[in-house]
Structure 1
Amino acid sequence: MYTVLVAENEPWVLKGIVKMVEEAGEEFQVVGACSNGEEAWNQIRDVWPMLLITDIMMPEMDGLTLCGKINEHRLPIVSVIISGYDNFQYAQKAMTYGVSEYLLKPVRFELLKESLNRSKEKLESLKDLNGYVVKFQALLDNRQALPAKLALQKQVELIQSVLSMNDYRKSLRISLLHIFDRKLRMLLDECDIDYPDIPAIDVADGEGVVPYYKAMLEKWYLSRSGIAKSSMPAIIEQSCRYIKENYKEDITLTDMAERANFSVSHFSALFKKHTGTSLINYVNGLKIEEAKKLLLSTSYSVSEITEIVGFSTTPYFSRVFKTTVGLSPLEYRKRMDS
Structure 2
Amino acid sequence: MMLHVLIVEPGVRRRAKLSRQVRESGHLVIGEASCGEEALTFMERQGWPTVLLADLMPPGLDGLALVRRVYEQRIPMITIVQSDSRRAEYIRQAMQAGAIDFLLKPVKEEQLRLALSNAERRMHYYYAAHRELNRIQSFFEQMDMLRQDEFIRRHADLLRGLADYEEAQRGERLGLFRMLYAKWHTVLSRRGQSVPEPPVWQNEEEAAAYFRKLGDSWMSGNAPAREGAIRLNIRIACEYIREHYRDGLTLTELSERFGMSVSYFSVQMKRYTGESFVQFLNRIRVEKAKDLLLQPGLKVYEAAEQSGFETLQYFNKVFRRFAGMTPGEYRRQHGI
Q: Which TM-score band (shorter chain)?
A: 0.5 to 0.7
Contact 2:44 2:179 in 1 (8 A): no
| 1:199, distance to aligned residue in structure 2 (A) | 8.0
Paired position in structure 2 for 1:176: 173
d(CA) in 1 for partners of 2:173 and 2:42? 19
Extract unaligned runs of 5+ from structure 2: 225-336
Paired position in structure 1 for 2:8: 7
SS of corresponding position for 2:58:
coil
Contact 2:35 2:62 in 1 (8 A): yes
Mapping for residues 135-146 of structure 1, pairs under 5 Å: 135-142=135-142, 145-146=145-146
Contact 1:56 1:83 in 2 (8 A): yes
d(CA) in 2 for partners of 1:143 and 1:23? 35
Deviations, residues 269-307 of structure 1 (Å, cap 9, x unaligned): xxxxxxxxxxxxxxxxxxxxxxxxxxxxxxxxxxxxxxx
Deviations, residues 223-250 of structure 1 (Å, cap 9, x unaligned): 4679xxxxxxxxxxxxxxxxxxxxxxxx
SS of corresponding position for 1:142:
helix
Contact 1:136 1:155 in 2 (8 A): no
Q: Which has the larger radius of gyration?
A: 2
Aligned equivalent of 1:218, options 216, 219, 225: 216
| 1:216, distance to aligned residue in structure 2 (A) | 2.7
| 1:211, distance to aligned residue in structure 2 (A) | 4.7
d(CA) in 2 for partners of 1:29 and 1:58? 22
Paired position in structure 1 for 2:125: 125
d(CA) in 1 for partners of 2:130 and 2:207? 20
Paired position in structure 2 for 1:41: 40
Instruction: Name which structure has the greater RCO, CA cutoff 8 Å, separation 6+.
Output: 1
Distance 1:88 1:223, change over 3 A: farther
| 1:30, distance to aligned residue in structure 2 (A) | 1.1
Deviations, residues 55-95 of structure 1 (Å, cap 9, x unaligned): 12212222111111111211101111111111101101111
Mapping for residues 69-218 of structure 1, pairs under 5 Å: 69-142=69-142, 145-165=145-165, 169=167, 171=169, 175-181=172-178, 183-184=180-181, 187-188=184-185, 191=189, 193-195=194-196, 202-204=202-204, 206=205, 211-218=209-216
Deviations, residues 172-217 of structure 1 (Å, cap 9, x unaligned): x762344224532674488262548x9875334x5x7655432232
Letter in 1 for 2:35: N
Paired position in structure 1 for 2:275: none
SS of corresponding position for 1:75:
coil
Mapping for residues 254-265 of structure 1, pairs under 5 Å: none
SS of corresponding position for 2:145:
coil
| 1:165, distance to aligned residue in structure 2 (A) | 4.9
Contact 1:133 1:180 in 2 (8 A): no
| RMSD across aligned positions (CA) | 2.9
Aligned residues: 218
d(CA) in 1 for partners of 2:184 and 2:220? 14
Contact 1:78 1:100 in 2 (8 A): yes
Letter in 1 for 2:28: Q
SS of corresponding position for 2:79:
strand
Percent of residue pairs bearing the same amino acid type: 22
SS of corresponding position for 2:52:
strand
Distance 1:22 1:199, change over 3 A: closer
Letter in 1 for 2:115: S
d(CA) in 2 for partners of 1:214 and 1:109? 47
d(CA) in 2 for partners of 1:71 and 1:199? 20
d(CA) in 2 for partners of 1:83 and 1:209? 37
Paired position in structure 1 for 2:30: 31
Paired position in structure 1 for 2:292: none
Contact 1:81 1:103 in 2 (8 A): yes
d(CA) in 2 for partners of 1:64 and 1:199? 26
User: Structure 1 length normalisation: TM-score?
Assistant: 0.57
Distance 1:137 1:104, change over 3 A: same
Contact 2:73 2:172 in 1 (8 A): no
